[in-house]
Amino acid sequence: MKAFPPDKVTLERIFEWARDRIENGPDPRNGAQTNAVLQDRMSGSITTKGLSGTEAFALFTDVIAPSTRPFNHPTSLAFVAAAPTPASFGMDIALSAAEIFAGNWDGGSGAIHAENQALAWLANLAGWSDKAGGVFVSGGTMGNLSALHAARVSYRSEHDNPALGLQILCSDEAHSSIEAVAKVMDATIVKVPTDSNGVMSASAARQVLESSDAVFVIVANAGATNCGAIDDLPGLAALAQEKNIWLHVDGAYGLAAMASPHTRTAFNGIEKADSFIVDPHKWLFAPYDSCALVYRDAAKGAQAHGQKGAYLDTLDKSEWNPSDYALHLTRRARGLPLWFSLVSYGTDAYATAIDQTVSVANAIAEGIKAQDGLELVLGPQLTVILFKTTRLSPTEVDDWAEKQRRSGALLCLPTTWRDQKVLRICVVNPQTDAEYVLGVLKTLA
């Protein structure tokens, strides 16, 4: 008797549900439930004998899925949401069924080769040579951590007496993951004040840098999460080269816009950076979770991350082993959904989709400027818009945002900008309708 007998009926229901979700999308009214509610509805679900497959899947469809926020819905404009293509969704299902070990070439050569094609496309957009390479990791935090560890190893190999207490230089609009990475690395953050648009200039960075002799890396924003700012990449690249330190570009959200010729010039200077990250699950239309970490010289990534062990001695070191390029060993081929989508639709489709989202963001911003009771505060920078109401109190703004979220009308939440509460929109879904969004925003008046 098999311990885990196959259940064809349940598998068919799972595939049918997945197909319907991909074709028709999620319900925007779905959202978080309290733990008490979930405990009540799911109590006793794990038993010694197990439930039937039908009952177990009903818990997923009737309880779990409705209690999760549908970030890939076109009205999900808070945070940096997601908008996976049908092809990338489909490949993610196939990838799970294939159960590919993609930590080394021996386990997943075909999948790794495909992932490397997607990474090469990104590296080429940045103007890098075939010496570039990297790996797909789980998200921006892991990508930033792995890149900054490589920067630290490089710094210590090139400086005779590297300081023990090293510092990371970044803007005051740097992502929270940089703070988290600094704690893990036991490094210190040195923040550079930004201008009125949230941009870190090279001159401001120089002023801070010259008061320290322990900075081993400059972290530049290429689409800051809160405001969409792109730092002075050409100036920062020149400064990093002058000081012989690493330049890492955190483009988890914004670097996707390199895919369009119309927005690529905004990132001039990245060709001289040492590493960058960009999350396909943000603005490159892939499902969670995926971050592309790319080094201009991939050998420096391997120098920092290659693991050694008797159980690894049989690996073919002449081939590409993804475990050598980030802080991990076991991994799934999480870059395959992006690769499959690129192959299916072509890179021109990506450029078109990026352009569409930029156009939608511009239309929303123009509509906000024209609407009584609303004031455009900043943007759009890439596709991030900050705005405020002139008629509601901060508490009323919170109540409005919660009402729209609960009804499924719009996920548009407050943030803080220059010590004032504002509302924030970030468009990454080509299906977002500007007229619809502006119609909901009219209720703020």
Least confident residue range of 160-164, 335-339, 399-403: 160-164
Mean predicted lDDT score pLDDT of the chain: 94
pLDDT for res 314: 63
Q: Report yes or no on 76 lying in a domain.
A: no
Distance CA(198)–CA(376), nearest Å, equals 15
In a domain, 79, yes or no: no
Is the pTM above the cut of 0.85?
yes
Q: Are residues 236 and 341 in the same domain?
A: yes
Residue range 227-241, pLDDT digits in tens: 999 999 999 999 999
Is residue 62 located within the same domain as residue 119? no
Is residue 148 one of the residues assigned to a domain?
Answer: yes
Q: Do both 141 and 219 map to the same domain?
A: yes
Q: Are 117 and 339 within 8 A, CB to CB?
A: yes
Give me the pLDDT at residue 163, please.
59
**What's the CATH code of the domain at 363?**
3.90.1150.170
Residues 129 and 251 in one domain: yes
Structural domain ending residue among the three candidates 49, 66, 83: 66
Q: Which of 346, 373, 399 is the last residue of a domain?
A: 346
pLDDT of residue 71: 93
Q: Examine residue 310 and state whether it is found in any structural domain, yes or no.
A: yes
Q: Can you tell me the distance from the alpha carbon of 133 to that of 131, in angstroms, rounded to the nearest whole number?
A: 7
Question: Is residue 73 one of the residues assigned to a domain?
Answer: no
Q: Is residue 193 in a domain?
A: yes
Locus of tokens 């024209």: 370
CATH number of domain containing 340: 3.40.640.10
In this structure, the answer to whether residues 354 and 394 fall within a common structural domain is yes
Contact 263, 382 (CB under 8 A): yes
Closest CA to 230 of 279, 264, 187, 185: 264
Residues in the chain: 445
Pairwise CA distance, residues 185 & 182, whole Å = 5
Confidence (pLDDT) at 225: 96
Tell whether 366 is covered by a domain.
yes
pLDDT at residue 391, rounded to an integer? 93
Judgement on whether residues 105 and 17 belong to the same structural domain of the protein: no
Residues 216 and 112 occupy one common structural domain: yes
Asked whether residue 80 is domain-assigned, the answer is: no
Q: What pLDDT digit, counting tens, does each position of 358-374 carry?
A: 999 999 999 999 999 99
Residues 341 and 391 in one domain: no
Range of the domain at 95: 91-346
251-263 pLDDT, tens digit each: 999 999 999 999 9
Three-class DSSP labels, 216-274: EEEEEEECCCCCCCECCHHHHHHHHHHHCCEEEEECCCHHHHHHCHHHHHHHCCHHHCC
> Is residue 289 located within the same domain as residue 427?
no
Instruction: Using the 3D structure, point to which of 346, 368, 391 is the last residue of a domain.
Output: 346
Q: Are residues 364 and 336 in the same domain?
A: no
Number of domains in the chain: 3
> Which residues have a Cβ under 8 Å from the Cβ of 186 and sit 6 or more positions away?
none
Tell me: do 28 and 99 sit in the same domain: no
